[in-house]
Structure 1
Amino acid sequence: MSVLVAGPEPITSRDDLVAALERGSKPKDQWRIGTEHEKFPFRLADNSPVAYDGPHGIRAMLEGLTRFGWLPVKEGETIIGLESPKGGGNISLEPGGQFELSGAALETLHQTCAELHDHLAQVKEVGGELGLGFLGLGFTPNWRRDQIPVMPKGRYKIMTEYMKKVGTMGLDMMYRSCTVQVNLDFASEPDMVKKLRVAVALQPAATAIFANSPFTEGKPNGYLSYRSHVWTDTDRARTGMIPFIFESGFGFEQYVDYALDVPMYFVFRNGRYVDVTGQSFRDFMVGKLRGLEGETPTRGDWINHLTTIFPEARLKNYMEMRGADGGPWARICALPAFWVGLLYDQASLDAAWDLVKDWTAEERQALRDDVPRLGLKTPFRNGTLLDIARTAVEISRAGLKARAKGDGAGSRDETTFLHAVEEVVRTGKSPADIMLDAYNGRWGGSVDPVFKEYAF
């Protein structure tokens, strides 16, 4: 998808912000798929977290990956990420060292999974030389928060202090969780509205299907997706099911009004992050930010602000699906397959909307509240969320079939990437359920085997 580039152009009105979102609209032949996934680095010798510095640390890992053509991204003199020289994605660091690939905007799921395969091969090569492995889970299975090193990015210092003021689990979100996201396009404002409503309503189904974080500090934590639970008390001003999107008249303007009132974290000026936590973008628009009096925002400031808003599905000039735990290779490919099948074929999008359109705000919230603990067994009307998930997966398969995007060899369409999801809804067992069975059986009450069985 086409992504807004953060730049110095001044913002002079609310209309500028609405126009920035509207520019995301594009014809169907230009729709693309962007997949982001995070993973935990760990030391192969003892399964411990990985520090930034040192000959076998995160910095060495980033530097090692430059052999594949990645270019360093620096904050001051510190390397904090990598970018493709051809604009084909980037690698970034989350607060606790979680390694994130933000993939290129690609046309098919075949291309997406080929990109992922190449990335993981590179990571495995360099990581193996450094004695590092990478783990595909939604939450650290045995590390305490105080064991996890802090990455040297200025914005994370500001966010760390602010999280302590607005919720009880924000630091766990920052330092101990991993997710997979898919980013998708829309054709127009009405298309955006329908897709965003379907995405938010069905996000609990995605959470349940991809639930993969049942352990905390070496023991079962009582949840299937503890990562999802953590988000329930991270910062309620910027998270959740955003019920206003289901109100009559919702569109780009209403999303802008929401974002304007979400408290800010920072402004980037003269090579440093300025702490403006708790203040609104509305104040920024009229030059009334404390500490930056007289300063007014640029398009780049707006884009930065939008990245600090964390609802279950997020709007920029594309849409982000945010409900899934991190996982192994096949399930990373399965997430974009699930959402592309639902949202990129008109008949499937209409069917998905028919599935959710009469749900009440209370029902949607109840699903969100219960799914971290109950997963596919979450009650819904006269059945469970598993019934909804099975229907959604059938709709998704039909959508992928209708797209008819082959692999170039004439042997596979995109439905092949849905197999991992179809197995979950067939058996009713999420990845977390399978891990708990192993913990209570062949793992003998230990989480240590995850570092072998769930490593890339």
Structure 2
Amino acid sequence: MARDTSDTTPLTRRAELIAWFAAGEKPRESFAIGTEHEKIPFYRETHAPVPYAGETGIRALLEGLARETGWAPILDAGNVIGLAAEAGGAISIEPGGQFELSGAPLPDVHATVRELGEHLSATARAADPLGIGFLDLGMSPKWTREETPVMPKSRYKIMAGYMPKVGSLGLDMMLRTATVQVNVDFCSEADMVRKMRASLALQPVATALFANSPFTDGRPNGFLSRRSEIWRDTDADRTGMLPEAFESGFGYETYVDWLLDMPMYFVKRGDTYHDVSGASFRDLMAGKLAQLPGEYATVSDWANHASTAFPEVRLKRFLEMRGADVGGPEMIAAQAAFWTGLLYDEVALDGALDLVKGWSAAEREAVRATVPRLGLATPVAGRSIGAVAAEALALARAGLQRRGRRDASGRDETIYLQPLEAIVAAGRSRAEERLADYEGAWQRSVEPTFADCVF
């Protein structure tokens, strides 16, 4: 989840909210790639979750990583809850201790891979003396919700109180899941709309390709991506396939109205988070928020509110792809390459839009509902998501080839698509491979995940 921003510029008009999104537009030559990923920490010796406090807890891990990197601590009520780099990028902790890198905006996938390697090396140097390892699964495979430690972040306490009121699985989402997200830029409102529509429709393809959360509470859970299924019963007001994006006239204004209709979680003033869960941002703009009478909306409030929307593709001052379970380093790189190839090449983007243009709203919703369980076998418009994935990958490969961004060895970014092409060729996701291991070599136990499914 995003870091809170700090900008006390007042916002009094709806047009200013729209302009905030428009200010994210960049010239094409400045387009960057931002990659965020979460990983679930555990103690290597006991396979137990890692609490925040203690000599070998999450706080000690953050302090060790600060010494390794020189990044500055981020504090919440005196607790170290993250690290920030001067050049961009941050480390944060999710509600259940998931360790997240929010990468800096970088020019190509090669740079993303270098950043990831440097992060994993520094994290290992800080974690190894504490006996901490990290799972590369999209959901913790063993611990119950009650066994999972809760991190001391003020905004998470507010969210945890609100989640059970609007869905049955929101706490599971917060405490037990892990994802990888890719952020992409847009140069205009029209460009944003094209990318939003293509990536929203294809987000279930990413869910199928990256499915990697088949275990819960020590056994198979009946899904290939339980993480994705959990989001379907988290909070309908702020999640889902955003059908508004496919309606005529969609743009910044429509998205702003959707956010204004979405209930708030909190308002931050100074270092204090005020619980306003369920309240209206419109009331805050008018100075009529019952919990904080006389307080008016600021840019920070709007940015923070936008960060508490969780559709499958989220608009901020960039577009955030949200459909994938986390995997190992090669899968994180593959996620970045997949969306870069599709969305940063106009021919590939045209092809992606053509690929999904015949899907109805009902078909998009049906695919979203089915893909967590069936993965690549999910039917859509008379074919399978696996067949769609093969075409999408071919488009992404061609897009990356036309981009022509090469590393020091002269290789272009298509090298990072190979794990996905292997999955499509085999017709089997990482989740299905690990279910086969569970039934075979693992002898129906999830304990081997703590050795075989790690960074």
C-alpha contact (below 8 Å) 2:23/2:317 kept by paired residues:
yes
Whether the 8 Å CA contact 2:4–2:304 is kept in 1: the answer is no
> How far 1:203 moved relative to its partner?
0.2
Secondary structure at the aligned position of 2:35 is classed as strand
Q: CA deviation at 1:448?
A: 1.0
> For the residues of structure 2 that align with 1:147 and 1:4, how far apart are their CA atoms?
28
Question: Match of 1:293?
Answer: 293
For 1:272, the equivalent position in structure 2 comes to: 272
C-alpha distance in 1 between matches for 2:310 and 2:363? 21
Which 4+ stretches in 1 moved above 2 angstroms? 3-6
Within 5 Å, give how 1:113-124 maps onto structure 2: 113-124=113-124
2:128 is aligned with 1:128: yes
Give the equivalent residue in structure 2 for 1:425.
424
Could you give the per-residue CA deviations for residues 56-101 of structure 1, whole angstroms, max 9, x where no partner exists? 00000000011221111111321110011x2320000100000000
The size of the alignment, in residue pairs, is 452
SS of equivalent to 2:350: helix
**1:138 and 2:143 matched:** no
Aligned equivalents of 1:381 and 1:268: distance in 2? 46
| Contact 1:4 1:317 (C-alpha < 8 Å) held by counterparts | no
Alignment of 1:253-272 (within 5 A): 253-272=253-272
Confirm or deny: 8 A CA contact 2:5 2:300 kept in the other structure: yes
1:327 — aligned with what? 327
Residue 10 (structure 1) aligned with residue 10 (structure 2)? yes
Whichever residue aligns with residue 441 of structure 2, its letter is R
Paired position in structure 1 for 2:90: 90
TM-score (norm 1): 0.98
Q: Report the alpha carbon displacement of residue 209 of structure 1 after superposing the two structures with TM.
A: 0.2
Query: C-alpha distance in 1, partners of 2:316/2:13?
Result: 18
Name the residue aligned to 1:36.
36
d(CA) in 2 for partners of 1:5, 1:163: 23
- Counterpart of 2:63 in structure 1 is 63
Q: What's the secondary structure of 2:387's corresponding residue?
A: helix
Question: Following TM superposition, by how much is the alpha carbon of 1:284 offset from its aligned partner in structure 2, in angstroms?
Answer: 1.1
CA deviation string 1:224-247 (max 9, x = no partner): 000000000000000000101101
Q: Distance in 2 between matches of 1:184 and 1:393?
A: 18
CA shift for structure 1 position 408: 2.9
Matches within 5 A, 1:6-405: 6-67=6-67, 68-84=69-85, 86-405=86-405
* RMSD across aligned positions (CA): 1.1
Percent of paired sites with the same residue: 54
CA contact (8 A) 1:210 1:431 kept: yes
Counterpart CA distance in 1 for 2:78 and 2:361 is 48
Cα distance in 2, alignment partners of residues 343 and 381 from structure 1: 23
What is the distance in 2 between the residues matched to 1:281 and 1:310? 17
Tell me the amino acid that sits aligned with residue 81 of structure 1: G
Counterpart CA distance in 2 for 1:94 and 1:4 is 13
In 2, Cα distance between equivalents of 1:247 and 1:304: 26
Q: Is the 8 A contact 1:218 1:446 kept in 2?
A: yes
State the distance in 2 between where 1:283 and 1:199 align: 33
Residues 23, 280 of structure 1: alpha-carbon distance in 2 compared, 3 angstrom cutoff: same
**Shift of the alpha carbon at 1:125?**
1.2
Q: Residues 4 and 106 (structure 1 numbering): CA distance in 2 closer, same or farther, change over 3 Å?
A: farther
Pairwise CA distance, 1:6: 3.6
- The alpha carbon displacement at 1:4 in A equals 11
- Describe the SS at the equivalent of 2:83: strand
SS at match of 1:151: coil
Determine if contact 1:193/1:251 at 8 Å carries over to the other structure.
yes
Instruction: Give the conservation status (yes or no) of the 8 Å contact 1:183–1:320.
Output: yes
Q: 1:5 Cα deviation (Å)?
A: 5.5
TM-score (norm 2): 0.98
Instruction: Please give the secondary structure, in 1, of the residue aligned with 2:232.
Output: helix
Q: Distance in 2 between matches of 1:343 and 1:391?
A: 14
Q: Distance in 1 between matches of 2:154 and 2:232?
A: 25
Structure 1 residue 294 displacement after superposition: 1.3
Whichever residue aligns with residue 449 of structure 2, its letter is V
- Structure 1 unpaired stretches of 5+: none
SS in 2 for 1:46: coil
Give, in angstroms, the shift of residue 150 of structure 1. Answer: 0.7
Distance 1:398 1:216 in 2: 38
Separation in structure 1 between the aligned mates of residue 6 and residue 396 of structure 2, nearest angstrom:
34
Q: Is the CA contact 1:142–1:215 (under 8 Å) kept in the aligned structure 2?
A: yes
Question: Which string of whole-angstrom CA distances, capped at 9 and with x for unpartnered residues, describes residues 314-364 of structure 1?
Answer: 001100000000111100110011000000000000110111112100000
Query: C-alpha distance in 1, partners of 2:429/2:234?
Result: 24
SS at match of 1:320: strand
**Separation in 2 of the partners of 1:5 and 1:305?**
10
> What's the CA shift string for 1:197-243, capped at 9, x where partnerless?
00110000000000000001111110000000000000000000010
Check whether the contact 1:62–1:82 (CA below 8 A) recurs between aligned residues: yes
Deviation at 1:126, TM superposition (A): 1.1
Amino acid at match of 1:113: V
